[in-house]
Amino acid sequence: MTSAPQPLVDARDVNVWFDLPDGRELHAVRGADVRVNSREKLGIVGESGCGKSTLLMALMGLLPATASVSGRIEVMGADLLAGGERAFRAHRWKDLAIVFQGAMNALNPVIRVQRQIVEALELHEVASGMAAVHRASDLVRLVGLPEGVLRKFNHELSGGMRQRVSLAMALACDPRVLLADEPTTALDMMVAAQVLALIDRLTRELDLALVLVTHDLPLVTRTCDRIQVMYAGTVVESGTPADIYHQPQHPYTRLLFAATADVHSDGPDPVTILGAPPRLDQVVPGCAFEPRCPHSQARCATDVPQPQSAGKGRSWACHYPGEST
Ligand SMILES: Nc1ncnc2c1ncn2[C@@H]1O[C@H](COP(=O)(O)OP(=O)(O)OP(=O)(O)O)[C@@H](O)[C@H]1O
Ligand SMILES: [Mg+2]
């Protein structure tokens, strides 16, 4: 019997709370699991504020001091939450790297691209001196930029070039898993498509696994091997794109995808999901989607639905799965 390969990332029952200035807590991530296998592309989708970025930052161990995290976060078999900052530091950037949401606007405006990349390489002890300078040249070429970019400042670059530099910096330590948090949000459609094609090519050429957070549902359906749908801090459904698109079990998944216009299709006009997600600084007694759910029943308002697994990464958290809209 052959055992299943060990996942590169295996996070279970991750919870994140932020301390608020008024003494209350905001429960941003609620029992989320994330499993990423070698060379796998996982898409994470869900409305704004549902905890996607917070979950990625928890995996990186980069949440602010006001956050507390519980659960289990394993990267390459190492239990990082148990090992603390020392364990995170051993794997951060080297095994698990991230292109932050808004990264292209966070590059230092007064330092040339070359020095930014060299400083990152030296900080993470990948290379120093001339070796770091050469590695910086290799990295900009890897992301499809001319070497002249190394002498430029941030403001001299287009949005697409800046995002490529952010990508080069994330790849500096040769990671196994790349987390990309809305890497194309601020880019126009043509440039976004080029950056996505680049990420796709690099994941193949560098044997990377990818976790892609995006609001672009047609994109995630086309490019990812698995999709996780988040709502109010919880992973409410996960499966292959075919599962999620053709056989959604959670009413939120169905409505979310129905609410997305696909310009390439002649299908029905998109619908809107009435209402708004709940505030995460308040306790939700039952299913967080209950107030907006067209199929809610009495139990939904009082009992939190537990995730049901159908094997092979397929799961959902709904008391009445599969009810059609
Ligand atoms: N540092 C923080 N302190 C307090 N609350 C925070 C902090 N960072 C995030 N939050 C809250 O945590 C929740 C999840 O936020 P998060 O940024 O993870 O959502 P998201 O799914 O990435 O949204 P978007 O699609 O807009 O990027 C939100 O309610 C947000 O206001
Ligand atoms: Mg975000």
Q: Convert the pLDDT of each residue in 88-122 to its tens digit.
A: 999 999 999 999 998 888 888 899 999 999 998 99
Q: Which of 15, 18, 99, 231 to mutate to test the pocket of ligand 1 (most atoms within 8 A of CB)?
A: 18
Distance CA 133, CA 127 (A): 9
Residue 27 lies in a domain: no
Inside any domain, residue 311: yes
Measured CA to CA, the distance from residue 224 to residue 218 in angstroms comes to: 10
Residue 36 alpha carbon to ligand 2 centre in Å: 19
**How high is the pLDDT of residue 325?**
47
Predicted pLDDT at 105: 82
Q: Answer yes or no: is pLDDT of 159 > 50.
A: yes
- On the question of pLDDT at 21 being above 80, the answer is yes
Please check whether residue 20 lies inside any domain of the structure. Answer: no
Q: Which ligand 1 atom minimizes the distance to the CA of 63?
A: 1
- Determine the average pLDDT of the residues in 301-309: 95
Burial class (CB in 10 A: 0-12, 13-18, 19+), 71: middle
Substitution site in 25, 53, 69, 99 for ligand 1 pocket (most atoms within 8 Å of beta carbon) = 53
Give the gyration radius of the chain's Cα atoms.
20
The pLDDT tens digits for 292-302 are 999 999 999 99
- Residue 47 CA to ligand 2 centre (angstroms): 9
Which pLDDT band holds residue 265 (cuts at 50, 70, 90)?
low
pLDDT band at 261 (very low <50, low <70, confident <90, very high): low
Residues 232-245: tens digit of each pLDDT = 999 999 999 999 99
Listed range (69-73, 198-202, 259-263) with the worst mean pLDDT: 259-263
Within-domain flag for 279: yes
Residue 124 is predicted with a pLDDT of 85
Please state, in angstroms and rounded to a whole number, the distance separating the CA atoms of residues 236 and 228.
8
Identify whether 190 is part of a domain: no
Domain for residue 255, yes or no?
yes
pLDDT in the model for residue 242:
95
Assign residue 83 a region: left if phi > 0, alpha if psi is -120 to 50, beta otherwise? alpha
Measured at the alpha carbon of residue 180, what is the angle toward residues 174 and 183, in degrees to the nearest 5?
A: 120
Share of the chain above pLDDT 70, in %: 94
pLDDT of residue 3: 61
Give the ligand at the shortest distance from the Cα of 100: 2
Three-state SS for the chain is CCCCCCCCEEEEEEEEEEECCCCCEEEEEEEEEEEECCCCEEEEECCCCCCHHHHHHHHHCCCCCCEEEEEEEEECCEEHHHHHHHHHHHHECCCEEEECCCHHHCCCCCCCHHHHHHHHHHHCCCCCHHHHHHHHHHHHHHCCCCHHHHHCCHHHCCHHHHHHHHHHHHCCCCCCEEEEECCCCCCCHHHHHHHHHHHHHHHHHCCCEEEEECCCHHHHHHHCCEEEEEECCEEEEEECHHHHHHCCCCHHHHHHHHCCCCCCCCCCCCCCCCCCCCCCCCCCCCCCCHHHCCCCCHHHHCCCCCCEECCCCCEECCCCCCCCC
Residue with the smallest CA separation from ligand 1 atom 11 is 28
* Domain-embedded: residue 49: no
- Spatial distance between the Cα atoms of 14 and 215, rounded to a whole number of angstroms: 22
Distance from the CA of 10 to the center of ligand 1, in angstroms? 22
Q: Is the pLDDT of residue 140 over 90?
A: yes
Q: From the CA of 2, how far away is ligand 1's center (Å)?
A: 41
Q: Which is nearest to 43 in space by CA: 189, 168, 205, 223?
A: 223
Cα angle value 95/144/123 (rounded, 5°): 40
305: closest CA among 237, 259, 240, 242? Answer: 237
Q: Is 162 part of any domain? A: no
Asked if residue 218 has pLDDT above 60, the reply is yes
Distance CA 183, CA 180 (A): 6
- Return mean pLDDT, the chain: 92
Measured in Å, residue 217 CA sits from the centre of ligand 1 at: 20
Cα(52) to ligand 2 centroid in Å equals 5
Domain interval for residue 313 = 248-325
- Domains of the chain: total: 1
Given a cut of 90, whether residue 272 has pLDDT beyond it is no
Ligand 1, CB cutoff 6 Å, lining residues: 18, 26, 28, 46, 48-54, 64, 66, 101, 280
CA-182 nearest atom, ligand 1: 27
